[in-house]
Structure 1
């Protein structure tokens, strides 16, 4: 089955303290064969890129209002008058707070939502077909 990839490279900021942040090159990636998830790769040009995967829904909602719990939390805010989306990521290796430009994230999310509209993710996986086969037996 063919699948489509929607990618966008952008510069995030790793927030070290309220006064200090450093740029982190990142790639947002969405694949129609994994329709519920978004993939974020940090330090894309380094020897050891860091990969995170979480629910697309979390990022879609996080652009508008705080959401998520546990390992991934996302919420909108303003920093120096700019609209940004903050992502708090926790893992056994440590925690990170990343800031992404809302306009760039939203534009990319819009492309993913055009590729696979919300509510149609199951069709991408062919689940309906599999269920029909199972129930027909």
Structure 2
């Protein structure tokens, strides 16, 4: 999951004319000095690989587990205004936070949950279940 922010929306990000690009920004003008980046933490890519949810730092290329020792984490999504990931396990759907407890969100009437999507605008979570051939909100 990659979310591109408009670095040029923050005045002063670049000393010259700021041109927003995917994953960053570049300067334009006679004294332009290459690329500009938004201030703050490095962008992260979150991945699930059945055994763990891992994070990949797109700047440092550091790849490490975020949440380990999982059983068949086949899907995940992230709610951006709150530091929680939601993961789909073959038997249920859980909410978790880095270093925190897992909270089961759905464990009844579940066959094969295999997809998750967060609606950031309305703060809703949707999941797919191929075993039941359905899409459902949580």
Q: Quick check: TM above 0.5?
A: no
Greater helix fraction, Structure 1 or Structure 2: 1
The structure whose RCO (Cα within 8 Å, separation 6+) is larger is 1
Bigger radius of gyration among the two:
2
